[in-house]
Structure 1
């Protein structure tokens, strides 16, 4: 009987354990996680804080008790794995409530440790109220603070997914919000012209953006920026990003890659074939270039979990790489991307041509329609689609999904005109914006 130990009980860990049980009815499966909750929908946390989702517990998919009863999987929360002994195939575990340490043996080990919020060293940061938003406990702390202290203002550091989602939700709560971003644009995964649309949307809703900037000094409510601006805020929310949690892997001499993630092969095995790595801490490859890539989002973690479960059960399904397909809501706009952006194409010296299309989401005579803007990069020789971005109101999600499918299938930009896409006035036009991109490509 196989004994499988999983480190981490959120998207990757809980999913891989559940899927292994589907294929391996007799295996003994044990999960350890240092947090107090498991299998929660982290992507929903900003919307709980903003009140869009009324009950925080709605984000909880299951409990250790349910996992044991339904799937016969043992889940130990508030347990931190402190060491991996690869030779003896045991992990050392610290019970955070009792402070007792014990060892757990394994035949196979799956690492899904996630990441740790990045908080830059800043003079005086300890003098103010500061939060990160990485787990369920962070969300509860922020919610409690907002409910009890009634803050009026916030400075968000970082203009990625979480930073922009939190900006929207805090504005909706009535707070004055500023964003400080070290780079020259919001959302670095976007081309600059797409990012500018998002910046205008933020500004139109009262969010002040300080680009090419960072916090140099903090004194209680007073915040100094590198370029000389002086801000005031009741609290700071750090949304710079997460560093992959690789301490266990490093100490176990597992290979760490260019993205600072744990290097894995096409079946998500590390350099130790008995140890797999999935989720935010795992380094994979880019679907298009084959270069090292790490995408800390939910879809990769779930896909990787499936591949690991299949591999353990004896079926080899290779992971073909990451496109980084993503979408974000920013007030009235949605913005989505897949594949390579312009900056990545330039840095990698990949020859490309771009085509843009401004359209309506659906028939203009139908009362519910919105503007959308599509931008597609493609190889001028092979004509294959290399990357795409879409921004606008309704219908952004369906267009980016078609484009991600086109890249995965190896379609050319010319093939887009031939796609037979669903049409009715509430949903599209006889020639969908995707079709129009194909017609317009030179």
Structure 2
């Protein structure tokens, strides 16, 4: 019976010095547990292994139930099997698919992934054949009885309730897509499951060619792009002031511009109030045509079972867990989108509905159940999205979140090429790094561009997780050849710039600080070429190209100066020269390119 036996520590058996305990016996003993108060004998006394097992050992096969499949649940179940060949492992999945690539759903809608079968990673039959998992699809859990260690299940179509006993329980119910509580919301499609994607594909085949995507987060923009690839006229409606709220505005505007370049209309600062057969009505009264309406306004953790079982919840509505992902019940674990975990930054918890996070948590839970040293790390929220030819990625916190908790931070901005500029095909990218001025630790980073964005955000996420201070980025030895990078990789450049800012070698000005400084009498110097100045400049700036700056000082006032160039590099050279000559000067962080992105974002509808 459950709880009546204890497992003999495998390490103790392996370290037993008795020569009669042969290596051949160890696998057998590892599959058994000792009866209470029945110690392992000093020798096997000449007994055959099977005789000894029959007389002093009793086999137990613990039952582990996993509620919910896909990323977290299936990672836990398959890892459990690899660690425990004899456990009874049952997976209960409410939908018809227990293991599928939910992150690939938008690309199935866009016909980039042609066949629905390509989304199905495993079937119940294959999982049973390889892992001996008892997978029940189209089955729901109606009750968790913690006292009796039982779950009640039944088919989703109704029918007889079956009661299963468990030794350990893993909850992986995921999250539920949100739908606005407005008239006509039942007409909205969501994109959360294979079934959802199939409905949208069927709609595209029979519905006229207009669509509205409500919500401009990662999934919303993926949906918008893929609907456009199906020759639909698409409008994205976002209640906030920008697309991709995870980014800061001056980087999010670059993604919005890419959407517009590819024919997608973007409406920000307005919500949908009604959904009709022909389209939607917004809070400002506008009517947007869209026979197909897809809601992508976020998700909420599916805590229905957790609430009914009186498990502790966190402040954001997810299941509260410890560092081993154990809930308030020591025999129940939780993983994935439903879990609320400590955040990497700040004394708080957060919900991180990402498949890669769920996969890692599932593995760690299996380790912990099987007695291996295990803990899950706080999440830093690394995410990436491709929108046509633009890639946007983020890790850690943005400025808005840091300001909200009063956390001090400094900003580094750069606009380098993804590889050597002289090698054909070089593309520009925009990087933003946030760090703590006291200890230099990375608080967040954002990258927008084309090729190479994923590489840089992964390096920054790794550095952040490892607690590497920003100045150490300057000395990272990264792979270099002209087709792949520059001799000074963009990551190295961030390190150089952060080092200059942190240790006072260069003072910088943020675009939002310019108006106040100009009112206080600072002179704005444009150190670019005359040709660049004619193509566009910051109002009120004085042209003084860096190559002739020493001579130009004879015609300028005594400052102080705010200096800018295209991206900040020449501005830094000019600022250090002015400092060396005794002038007070500060460099505009990110140069004219950041200034233009900042002002464009400020002009976006609020």
Relative to the length of structure 2, the TM-score reads: 0.71
**Once superposed, which parts of structure 1, at least 4 consecutive aligned residues long, lie more than 3 Å away?**
none
- Pairing partner for 2:85 from 25, 34, 42: 25
- Pairing partner for 1:140 from 189, 195, 198: 198
Partner in structure 1 of residue 162 of structure 2: 102
Deviation at 1:98, TM superposition (A): 5.2
1:131-280 mapped onto 2 (5 Å cutoff): 131-147=189-205, 149-280=206-337
Counterpart Cα distance in 2 of 1:212 and 1:83: 42
Report whether the alignment pairs 1:5 with 2:65: yes
Deviation at 1:130, TM superposition (A): 2.4
Report whether the alignment pairs 1:351 with 2:411: no
Gaps of at least 5 residues in structure 1 are none
Q: Is the 8 Å Cα contact of residues 360 and 371 (structure 1) preserved in structure 2?
A: yes
Q: Is the 8 Å Cα contact of residues 267 and 316 (structure 1) preserved in structure 2?
A: no
Counterpart Cα distance in 2 of 1:170 and 1:226: 24
Partner in structure 1 of residue 98 of structure 2: 38
Deviation at 1:3, TM superposition (A): 0.6
* Structure with greater proportional helix content: 2
Query: Number of paired residues?
Result: 439
Deviation at 1:209, TM superposition (A): 1.4
SS of 1:288's partner is: coil
Counterpart Cα distance in 1 of 2:197 and 2:338: 21
Deviation at 1:99, TM superposition (A): 2.1
Q: Is the 8 Å Cα contact of residues 325 and 365 (structure 2) preserved in structure 1?
A: yes
Report whether the alignment pairs 1:398 with 2:458: no
Indicate the RMSD between aligned Cα atoms, in angstroms.
1.1
- Pairing partner for 2:378 from 318, 321, 340: 321
SS of 2:424's partner is: coil
Deviation at 1:382, TM superposition (A): 0.5
Partner in structure 1 of residue 494 of structure 2: 437
Deviation at 1:150, TM superposition (A): 4.3
Relative to the length of structure 1, the TM-score reads: 0.98
Deviations 1:333-373 (A, max 9, x none): 11000111111111111100000010100112222221111
Partner in structure 1 of residue 418 of structure 2: 361
Deviation at 1:224, TM superposition (A): 1.1
Gaps of at least 5 residues in structure 2 are 1-60, 502-606
Rg: which structure is higher?
A: 2
Q: Kindly tell me: are residues 124 and 138 of structure 1, through their superposed partners in 2, closer, same or farther at Cα, counting changes over 3 Å? A: closer
* Structure with greater proportional strand content: 1
Higher RCO, Cα 8 Å, sep 6+: 1
Q: Kindly tell me: are residues 230 and 98 of structure 1, through their superposed partners in 2, closer, same or farther at Cα, counting changes over 3 Å? A: closer
For structure 1, which segment, 94-103 or 357-366, has the greater mean C-alpha deviation from structure 2 after superposition?
A: 94-103
Deviations 1:263-289 (A, max 9, x none): 000000000010000000011111122
